[in-house]
């Protein structure tokens, strides 16, 4: 595949992201607190997380190890950050979540596999086969967009992990219900874990400064902003004493 073809796929994929973004404000993705049995066959929740995130990890590992250009420049840094994120999401996160008998619809897993296949495929193929290696030499490491992006990536990942951790520990072992989370960024937004993930991939796109990374950032936004709104509305319906000043995902804004 040449660069023009990959860019064309990115533009089509971006168009689909916008359509999905709008749709997700009207149709709530049925996993986690929004799980229903009306979306067809169900699969174990932890297994579902593992299966749906594994392609992203596997594809990026493959391109890092077997790609033509992976070690001709510093693009291995981008691969490493991506792989680091997905090691957590594929292996550690599913092992940490509680409520062990929970299920999710298989259709969610299949959709997420497509999402991960496309985003990891576009980013991995671009970085390992098509990227202009001169762009990722040592002077790249001192550009303002690399430095700012790296800071945002680390800050976003830290917020995401800490918030996920707080949520997971709201339940004592064996408990299955929901509580109002408090403290840390939960005093500002209902879903700081999703906010952190948005900051993280925004940082990655800044560092990478290429179309596939921008495409992945847009997809993350397209997915997570409506999901955060769904979570926020759900909290207000479930808890009459839910803090009124809290926003959905962006502190003070939305």
What CA–CA distance (Å, rounded) separates 27 from 111? 14
Applying the rule CB under 6 A, the residues between 88 and 127 that interact with ligand NAP are 97, 99, 102
* Binding residue count for ligand NAP, defined by CB under 6 A: 23
What CA–CA distance (Å, rounded) separates 215 from 210? 9
Applying the rule CB under 6 A, the residues between 41 and 70 that interact with ligand NAP are none
Q: What is the token pair recorded at 41? A: 């066959």
What CA–CA distance (Å, rounded) separates 85 from 82? 5
Residue 247: beta bridge partners?
189
Establish if 81 lies at the interface with ligand NAP (CB under 6 A).
Answer: no
Q: Which of 57, 127, 206, 224 binds ligand NAP (CB under 6 A)?
A: 224
Rounded to the nearest whole angstrom, what is the least distance from the CB of residue 69 to ligand NAP in the complex?
26
Site string for ligand NAP, 14-33 (x = CB under 6 A): ------------------xx
**Short-list 86, 85, 80, CA closest to 58:** 86
| Rounded to 5°, angle at Cα 231 from 39 and 177 | 80
Establish if 168 lies at the interface with ligand NAP (CB under 6 A).
Answer: yes
Q: What is the H or E stretch that residue 227 is in?
A: helix 211-238
Q: Which stretch binds ligand NAP (CB under 6 A): 7-15, 66-74, 121-129, 189-197?
A: 189-197
Q: What is the token pair recorded at 108? A: 């969610």
Where on the chain is the footprint of ligand NAP (CB under 6 A)?
Answer: 32-33, 97, 99, 102, 160, 164, 167-168, 170-171, 178-179, 181, 191, 193-194, 197, 220, 223-224, 227, 231
């Amino acid at each position: 595949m040449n660069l023009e073809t990959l860019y064309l796929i990115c533009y089509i994929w971006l168009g689909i992201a916008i359509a999905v973004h709008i749709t997700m404000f009207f149709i709530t993705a049925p996993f986690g607190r929004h799980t229903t049995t009306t979306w067809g066959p169900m699969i174990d929740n932890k297994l579902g997380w593992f299966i749906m995130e594994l392609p992203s990890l596997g594809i990026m590992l493959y391109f890092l190890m077997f790609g033509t250009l992976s070690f001709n420049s510093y693009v291995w840094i981008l691969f490493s950050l991506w792989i680091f994120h997905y090691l957590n999401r594929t292996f550690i996160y599913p092992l940490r979540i509680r409520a062990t008998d929970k299920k999710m619809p298989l259709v969610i897993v299949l959709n997420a596999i497509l999402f991960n296949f496309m985003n990891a495929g576009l980013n991995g193929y671009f970085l390992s086969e098509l990227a202009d290696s001169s762009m990722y030499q040592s002077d790249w490491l001192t550009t303002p967009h690399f430095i700012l992006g790296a800071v945002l990536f680390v800050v976003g990942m830290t917020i995401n992990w800490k918030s996920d951790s707080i949520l997971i520990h709201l339940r004592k072992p064996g408990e299955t219900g929901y509580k109002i989370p408090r403290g840390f960024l939960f005093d500002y937004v209902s879903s700081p874990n999703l906010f952190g993930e948005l900051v993280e991939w925004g940082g990655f796109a800044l560092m990478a400064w290429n179309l596939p990374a921008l495409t992945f950032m847009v997809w993350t936004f397209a997915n997570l902003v409506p999901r955060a709104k769904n979570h926020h509305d759900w909290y207000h319906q479930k808890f009459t004493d839910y803090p009124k000043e809290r926003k959905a995902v962006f502190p003070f804004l939305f």
